Amino acid sequence: MFASGSGTNAAKIATYFDAIPDVSTEKIYCNNPNAGVLDRASSLGVATRLFNREEYTTTIIQELEALAPDLIVLAGFLWKIPQAYLAAFPNKIINIHPALLPKYGGKGMYGRHVFDAIVANKESETGITIHYVNEHYDEGAIIFQATTSVLPNDTAADVAEKTHALEHAYFAPQIHKLLQQQ
């Protein structure tokens, strides 16, 4: 997995797969030395690898190729995936987005920015999108979507809470389903 933030999705995924003997979270790669995901991974006994921009474009892809993962999961990872990764792991890199793509996707549309936009545009529904990663932000083929209502008096924080509940309920099972199809 790759993560940049608090790591709640990464923790849910790692915990989910603890109960499944033939699947494991090998390592969590992180680009942010202050990210909560590092502590969460440590408490779960999952190895981590902190990296910088230079390592991201050089040594990390070599490490991944040596691991030969069945799937690379982006769980709140904020850097764009380089073309070399896409070529080395075709249809093996997936992401979760906190909105119903194609709405509210693209560069700069992550976390609070998405929830603020949903509330500002008075959407009545939102959700999550799990998708393959391609060369453009949030434009890869959609694997799965789940929806939730947005009430007229919902704040961005309310929308975030509903969206996180969907992420925690659906992301790991959808990853499992993809792995079973391989």
* pLDDT band with cut points at 50, 70 and 90 for residue 45: very high
Q: Are 152 and 158 in contact (CB under 8 A)?
A: no
Q: What Cα–Cα distance (Å) separates residue 2 from each residue in 74, 81, 126, 148, 169?
A: 5, 10, 24, 26, 19
Average pLDDT over residues 131-147: 97
How far is the first Cα of the chain from the last one, in angstroms, to the nearest whole number? 18
Average pLDDT over residues 135-161: 97
- The total number of structural domains in the chain stands at 1
Average pLDDT over residues 23-47: 97
Q: Which residues pair with 72 in a beta bridge?
A: 93
Residue 108 has pLDDT above 90, yes or no: yes
Q: Cα separation of 175 and 23, whole Å? A: 10
Q: Are 33 and 50 in contact (CB under 8 A)?
A: yes
Tell me, yes or no, if 97 is annotated catalytic: yes
Residue 182 has pLDDT above 90, yes or no: no
DSSP state of 5: S
Query: Which of 97, 131, 136, 176 is labelled catalytic?
Result: 97
Instruction: Provide the phi-psi class of 76: left if phi over 0, else alpha when psi is between -120 and 50, else beta.
Output: left
Q: Cα separation of 166 and 172, whole Å? A: 11
Q: What sign results for the dihedral spanned by CA atoms 123, 146, 179, 24?
A: positive
Element (H, E) at 96: strand 93-97
Domain region containing 76? 2-181
pLDDT > 90 fraction of the chain, expressed in percent and rounded: 99
Contacts of 181 (CB under 8 A, 6+ apart): none
CATH number at residue 77: 3.40.50.170
The per-residue pLDDT for 5 is 95
pLDDT in tens, 50-90: 999 999 999 999 999 999 999 999 999 999 999 999 999 99
Coil vs helix vs strand at 170: helix
Average pLDDT over residues 140-151: 98
